[in-house]
Each structure stands twice: as C-alpha cells, then as structure tokens.
C-alpha cells in the first residue's frame, strides 16, 4: 500500500529564511538519527550557496509525517534563477509562501508568486522571523493580501491560510498568542490545505521532465512528477521530444527521495516525484511515457535569457600561469556540460574557435557560472555583459526590470537622479522610519554598472532588488557615467613609490608588489579620459638621506574589485581576466578590438 502524498514548493524572496525553515522541518520529522551532527542550511549543499546565503539550485527532499509522504521542493528566491522556479512549480499541488515579518513581500516574492497563481496554486502564507525586533506580522499579512489582489488572484486564492513562525527557533503557530514550540501546525496545514496529487495509476505512464541532473556513472538524470501511470525500474519507455519525435529507451535506474538522499525504488505510481536514468537526450518539458501509447504533456515554457557575454581564451601576458584548464576545447567542454543541468543558459559558438557567446538570466546568473568555473581551475576572459534585444510584433524591443530600492532618506535624491539618466521611471515612493522604498521600471541595460553607484550613494546602507518584467520598445541611448581608467604601460611589479606619486590621479585597484603587464587596468582615473602610467617606477637611490626619510608614509587602500564588481565596471573595449587565483581587468588594444 502506497503512502498518501503531498507535493509542496517553498517559495520566497532572497534571505527570508526558507532554507532555515526546511532545516527545522527535516530535524522535527525524524530525518536525522539521534546524535547525528546536522549542518545549518542543509539544503544549500553548494559552497557558493553557503557563502552567499542564497539558494541557487532547486532541490528536492521528502519527509514523513503521520503516514503521509511530504515532498518538499526548495526553490531559488533570486529572479536570475527563475528558470529553476518555473519548472518545479509544475511538480507540486501547493506552495508555502514565506515572507519576512518586518519586510513583507519583496520584488522576487512577486515574481515567484505570480508564477504560482498562474498555475492555479493556492499558497499557504507563513510569516517568518516573528522573533525579530520591529517585526509587524499582521502588517505583513495585509501586504501579502494587497499583493494577491494586485496580481489578479481569484477569491479562493485570496482567502489564504496563514501562520506565524520562526525558522531559526523551530516553531510555527496559527495565532500570535498561541504557545507552541514545534513545527506541527505547519505540517498539519500541509495535510489540510494542500490537495493530494491528481493522477490515475491505471492510465498509461506520463512523467514530465522538470529538472536535470548529471552523474558520471549514470549520465543524465531527469527529475519529475508522475502525472499518470506506474513506472518500474528496468521497464521500457519512450521519450516524446520537443519536436514531437519519439525516442524509445529503458529506465536503467529509478530513484525516490528520502530526507536529503536519493533511494532506489522498484516502482512508483502517479503523484510521486522521482528521478530516472536512461534517457541521455531528455530535456526540460519533454515527456517520458508508455511506448505503446505515447501521450505527451504540454511543454513547459521557461523565460528566455536577457543578458549575453563572450567567454574567450585568456591571451594576456600572464596566460596559463595560474589556471589548470586554459584551452578553448576545455572551456567549450565545460560550458557544454553546464547545459546538461542549467536550462536557463544558452551557449553559442562564434566565428572564432576561441570565443563563445554565453547568455543567461542576469549578472548574478552568469557571475555564479564564472565563479564556479574559476574554482574548478579554469582560466579565461569575459567581456562586458550586453542585453539581448528581441523583435516583438515587428518592433525592436529590450528587456525591462522591476526595481525596488530600500534606502535611507538622504540617499533618495541621488538615486532618483542617477536612475533618471539610466531611463528609469519611478512608479511609487513610500517613506517610514527614516527610510524610503522606491519602485522603478528600468531597461535591463540601465542596471548594468549601477550597483557600484548605488552603494556609494547610500553609503552601503541600501538594499536593491530587481526582477525581469517584460520586453518593451528600446528606450534610446543611455549615457555611460564612468571616469577613464589608469592603464599600466609596462610589465613588472607595482611599487609603493610609483603608486604614492600617482595617488592624486585617481583610485587604484592594486597594492604595491602586485604583478602587472602592459594594457592591464590598475585603477580608475579621476577624469573622463584613460591614462597610461608606469606603476613599476622605482625611486632613484642616492647616498644622501632625505630630511623626511623617517616619516611614516601611508597609501590609500585600493578599491576591492570583486568578480561581480569587475563585471559591472568594465566597458565595451575591456575584458575581465578570470583565473583560479586572480581577477584582473585589461584594456583591449585597437588591433584586437578591430578583430572582435
């Protein structure tokens, strides 16, 4: 006899606590044995996810509660990983919407919630972090209702159940006055408010591919929900591809989910979420079905990429000194392997064998790929991100973003002025407790490089969030407002003497002793034009001691050019050189620029 099933997706804005909440559910469901050491954020298995405190990849887990199997899908909260969100919502029958008791719904809450409502899901709302100071749990519920109405939710969806919780302390309750110390009310709400999965085990097999994984031993693994029928390990099946053709194959391995691990299954029936190996060419949205009666499910539509960069072989004077994988073949193979699991990514070969056009959902999406590759030992260069234009009804259009800024009041004027020059249009403005929340609609290219300006205008005290809105007619030219750069004109080691003498020319990105080469960008000039400098110049030594020789001379701290900041900073004639040990900026010579 199979267990009753509930399939639930957990959706929320970045940093509203959904991964911590899943930790509490796993611990209280008996997933871990007594005495077992359990790390925090167990669902964030990727090193980058732990460092950044965000979920990048959607993941499945399953817990048992009172003889019911509850499949839980942890989804990304950042809009750059919207490709993950859209697919997993097709696997579930309900969703848990988590909002911060202080902040309420935020832009990416809006993005994911809109997708859930479009699929007809009735969310359970959980107001998290009620233990924080300045929390306003009931105000957060009111804001969620306003958002539901704004997104066109029907009467049944607007009459949503809600709970109050603290994922960190591991409790949930139906009313603020209740005295409860565990997650039982949340488990009960899953049983009462999430419908059991529809599907008939007696009908022909239908499983839609919603997530891809890869194993060196099994090859491509597809994860999806059984909409109809029963599947057995080792049985013959057929894949209905996107173009309608049918590819026959065998299910070599059938796996289910238990806690954080996958377990081998002999069979599974309609409603279950399973992983299947045996179909090496299966793609997102395609259907695995019965070979005798192949019936395809409607294809899943994923938002197209909006940003493109060029990945190319590193040809700087320092090429090959720090990386393990440096050839075009190795870079190409790694990018193609990324396509096995990263469905929102596109990779196209160019007229040059050393360059590849890589398209993604945003700067963070592409930045995560670049950071992952450099940690794996790859060395390469990337160009300035460019938006992808599209023709809509015969008119050239560009992607627009919905932008929300949460800033101190003294930074409002500067942000409005700067976004105005970037073709941003303010939609709303609210002020409370010395802070302002501004809402804008802005072309995606207007946001490229804005984060650095934003941090300066708000003195690091601002919060910036944005999500893809739609394609609209091209807004016109956006004036770049960045000073020129300081370029090294010889190879060697930067000296304290040279940097100190040129300190009034601008801000440097390097420290004394850093290795530089001709054409490498070492700082930002304080004027609009570029300038070449000899940063390796040494002091002429004499046998006379200067009167000021014993004075302590200090150098300004260099600007921290992280990978993300470098990608935002570079211009169209500049590249970011990425190696496992370094991130450098360089200027393209006129000769190389002409070739591109």
| pLDDT tens per residue across span 200-219 | 888 888 888 887 777 778 88
The token pair that represents 8 in the structure block: 């639930």
Query: Do residues 343 and 284 touch, judged by C-beta distance below 8 A?
Result: yes
3-state secondary structure of 583: strand
Q: CATH number of the domain at 206-289, please? A: 2.40.30.10
Q: CATH number of the domain at 482-538+557-570, please? A: 2.40.50.250
Give which of 362, 332, 79, 65 is closest to 190, Cα–Cα: 65
Q: 43-47, 197-201, 274-278 — which one is most confidently predicted on average?
A: 274-278
Q: What is the 3-state secondary structure (H, E, C) of 325-361?
A: ECCHHHHHHHHHHHCCCCCCCEEEECCCCCEEEEEEC
C-alpha distances (whole Å) from 352 to each of 328, 349, 595 are: 10, 8, 10
More confident residue, 442 or 180: 442
Question: Does the pLDDT at position 38 exceed 50?
Answer: no
Please give the model's pTM, rounded to 2 decimal places.
0.70
CA gap 566, 584 in Å, rounded: 8
Question: Does the pLDDT at position 381 exceed 60?
Answer: yes
CA gap 141, 134 in Å, rounded: 15
**pLDDT score at 30:** 62
Strand-strand pairing, 506-508 and 520-525: antiparallel
Question: Does the pLDDT at position 411 exceed 50?
Answer: yes
What fold characterizes domain 390-473? Alpha-Beta Plaits (3.30.70)
CA gap 261, 420 in Å, rounded: 50
Query: Do residues 55 and 271 touch, judged by C-beta distance below 8 A?
Result: no
Query: Do residues 357 and 539 touch, judged by C-beta distance below 8 A?
Result: no
Query: Do residues 400 and 444 touch, judged by C-beta distance below 8 A?
Result: yes
**pLDDT score at 362:** 75
Domain locations along the chain = 5-193, 206-289, 390-473, 482-538+557-570
Reported confidence tier of residue 198, pLDDT bands at 50, 70, 90: confident
Strand-strand pairing, 346-349 and 506-508: unpaired
**pLDDT score at 304:** 72
Question: Dihedral of CA 547/550/552/555: which sign?
Answer: positive
- Of 36-40, 166-170, 266-270, 435-439, least confident by mean pLDDT is 36-40
| pLDDT tens per residue across span 62-72 | 888 888 888 88
Question: Residues 230-236: contacts with CB within 8 Å, 24+ apart?
Answer: 230/201, 230/205, 230/267, 230/268, 230/269, 230/270, 231/205, 231/207, 231/267, 231/268, 231/269, 231/274, 231/276, 232/266, 232/267, 233/264, 233/265, 233/266, 233/267, 236/291
Binding site feature residues = 15-20, 128-131
C-alpha distances (whole Å) from 85 to each of 105, 238, 465 are: 17, 26, 17
For the chain, the 3-state helix, strand and coil shares in percent, each to the nearest 5, are 25, 35, 45
Query: Do residues 379 and 326 touch, judged by C-beta distance below 8 A?
Result: yes
Reported confidence tier of residue 580, pLDDT bands at 50, 70, 90: very high
C-alpha distances (whole Å) from 535 to each of 505, 515, 540 are: 12, 10, 15
Give which of 236, 238, 235 is closest to 206, Cα–Cα: 238
**pLDDT score at 436:** 85
CA gap 449, 454 in Å, rounded: 9
Give which of 79, 86, 25 is closest to 54, Cα–Cα: 79
| Mean pLDDT over each residue of the chain, to the nearest integer | 81
Binding site feature residues for GTP = 15-20, 128-131
Query: Do residues 173 and 186 touch, judged by C-beta distance below 8 A?
Result: no
- Of 109-118, 278-287, 323-332, least confident by mean pLDDT is 109-118
Reported confidence tier of residue 312, pLDDT bands at 50, 70, 90: very high
Same fold, 5-193 and 206-289: no
Residues 245/246/251/256 CA torsion (nearest 10 deg):
50
Domain 5-193, classified CATH 3.30.70.2860, yes or no:
no
- Of 153-157, 251-255, 477-481, 508-512, least confident by mean pLDDT is 477-481
């Amino acid at each position: 006899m199979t267990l009753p099933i509930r399939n639930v997706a957990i959706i929320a804005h970045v940093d509203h606590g959904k991964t911590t909440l899943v930790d509490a559910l796993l611990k209280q469901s008996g997933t871990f044995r007594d005495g077992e050491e359990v790390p925090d954020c167990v669902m964030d298995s990727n090193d980058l996810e732990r460092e950044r405190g965000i979920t990048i990849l959607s993941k499945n887990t399953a817990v048992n509660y009172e003889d019911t199997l509850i499949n839980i899908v942890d989804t990304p909260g950042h809009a750059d990983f919207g490709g993950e969100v859209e697919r997993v919502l097709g696997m579930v029958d309900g969703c848990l919407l988590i909002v911060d008791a202080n902040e309420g719904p935020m832009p990416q809450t809006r993005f994911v919630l809109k997708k859930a409502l479009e699929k007809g899901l009735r969310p359970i709302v959980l107001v998290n972090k009620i233990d924080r100071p300045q929390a306003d749990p009931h105000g957060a519920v009111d804001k969620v209702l306003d958002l539901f109405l704004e997104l066109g939710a029907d009467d049944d969806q607007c009459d949503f159940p809600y709970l109050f919780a603290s994922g960190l302390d591991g409790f949930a309750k139906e009313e603020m006055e209740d005295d409860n110390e565990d997650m039982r009310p949340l488990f009960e709400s899953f049983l009462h408010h999430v419908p059991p999965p529809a599907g008939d085990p007696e009908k022909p097999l239908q499983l839609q591919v919603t997530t891809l994984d890869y194993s060196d031993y099994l090859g491509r693994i597809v994860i999806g929900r059984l909409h109809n029928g029963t599947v057995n390990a080792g049985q013959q099946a057929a894949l209905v591809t996107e173009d309608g053709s049918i590819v026959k194959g065998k299910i070599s391995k059938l796996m289910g989910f238990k806690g954080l691990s996958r377990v081998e299954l002999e069979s599974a029936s309609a409603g279950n979420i399973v992983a299947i190996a045996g179909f090496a060419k299966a793609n997102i949205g395609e259907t695995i079905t019965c070979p005798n009666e192949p019936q395809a499910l409607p294809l899943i539509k994923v938002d197209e990429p909006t940003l493109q960069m060029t990945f190319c072989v590193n040809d700087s004077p320092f090429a090959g000194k720090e990386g393990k994988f440096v050839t075009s073949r190795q870079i190409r193979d790694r990018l193609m392997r990324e396509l096995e699991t990263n469905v929102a990514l596109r990779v196209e070969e160019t007229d040059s064998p050393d360059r590849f056009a890589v398209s993604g959902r945003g700067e963070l999406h592409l930045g995560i790929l670049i950071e992952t590759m450099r940690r794996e030992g790859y060395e390469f260069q990337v160009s300035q991100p460019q938006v992808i234009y599209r023709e809509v009804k015969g008119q050239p259009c560009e992607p627009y973003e919905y932008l929300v800024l949460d800033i101190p009041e003294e930074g409002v004027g500067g942000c409005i002025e700067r976004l105005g020059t970037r073709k941003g249009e303010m939609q709303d403005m609210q002020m409370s407790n010395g802070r302002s929340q501004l809402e804008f609609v802005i072309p995606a290219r207007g946001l490229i490089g804005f984060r650095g300006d934003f941090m300066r205008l708000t003195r690091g005290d601002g919060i910036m969030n944005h999500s893809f809105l739609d394609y609209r007619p091209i807004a016109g030219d956006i004036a770049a407002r960045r000073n020129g750069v300081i370029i090294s004109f010889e190879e060697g080691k930067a000296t304290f003497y040279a940097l100190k003498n040129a300190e009034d020319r601008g801000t440097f990105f390097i420290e004394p002793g850093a290795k530089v080469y001709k054409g490498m960008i070492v700082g930002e000039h304080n004027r609009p034009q570029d300038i070449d400098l000899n940063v390796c110049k040494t002091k002429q030594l004499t046998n006379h001691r200067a009167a000021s020789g014993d004075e302590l001379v200090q150098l300004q701290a260099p600007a921290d050019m992280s990978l993300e900041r470098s990608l935002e900073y570079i211009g169209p004639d500049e590249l970011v050189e990425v190696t496992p040990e370094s991130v450098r900026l360089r200027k393209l010579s006129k000769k190389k620029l002409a070739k591109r």
